[in-house]
Amino acid sequence: MTVCLKSVKRFGNRLSLTVEHEGQEAWGGVDVEQDQRPSVDAVERVLKASVGKAIKEIGNLDVG
């Protein structure tokens, strides 16, 4: 049973993530503080490049 990242949308410093598992979608949000490292830009870039991948794979990515 694989959970895959389906989409990433940005609203200011908040990223909205949609995942799919067995044909069902679920969503959640991530808030990134403006002075936090990695930056929201970096996190968004890595997650958008990972759309379609299993969450298990994404969890080990280096955002830098």
- Confidence at residue 48, expressed as pLDDT on a 0 to 100 scale: 96
Q: DSSP class of residue 12?
A: T
Place of tokens 């949609």: 18
Category of 23 on φ-ψ map: left (φ > 0), alpha (ψ -120 to 50) or beta: left
Mean pLDDT of the chain: 90
Place of tokens 């949000």: 29
Over 90: is that where the pLDDT of 8 sits? yes
Q: DSSP class of residue 25?
A: E
Q: What is the CA radius of gyration of the chain?
A: 12
In this prediction the pTM is: 0.84
> What's the whole-number mean pLDDT along residues 28-46?
88
> What's the whole-number mean pLDDT along residues 13-34?
92
Over 90: is that where the pLDDT of 14 sits? yes
Domains defined for the chain, CATH in brackets = 3-58 (2.40.50)
Over 90: is that where the pLDDT of 49 sits? yes
